[in-house]
Amino acid sequence: MHFEHERRRYIHEVNESKPITHPHTYTKMAIAPITGAHIRRTAWDISFSLALGSLAGSYYWFYYHKPLIAKREDYYASLAKQKEELDA
């Protein structure tokens, strides 16, 4: 019986030294909670996609499309020159 009394007194002393909080309530957190993570990730995804799409579009335009059009224009210019030579 004496042992039980000592155990209760010890538990009482330990519990009084700690603040009483709900088990799922944190008084201090080691890392700040992440707020707005979904919005930030979505904004980052959209920004990255637009940047990558612009980069790919510019690459296509300047390194594939424009040389192809220049080659076609040169071909038609040479045909027009040949037609002028034949007509003259």
DSSP state of 33: P
Q: What is the pLDDT of residue 76?
A: 97
Q: Which bin fits 36, alpha (ψ -120 to 50), beta or left (φ > 0)? A: left
pLDDT tens for 12-48 read 555 555 555 555 555 566 676 667 888 889 999 999 9
pLDDT at 35: 72
pTM: 0.51
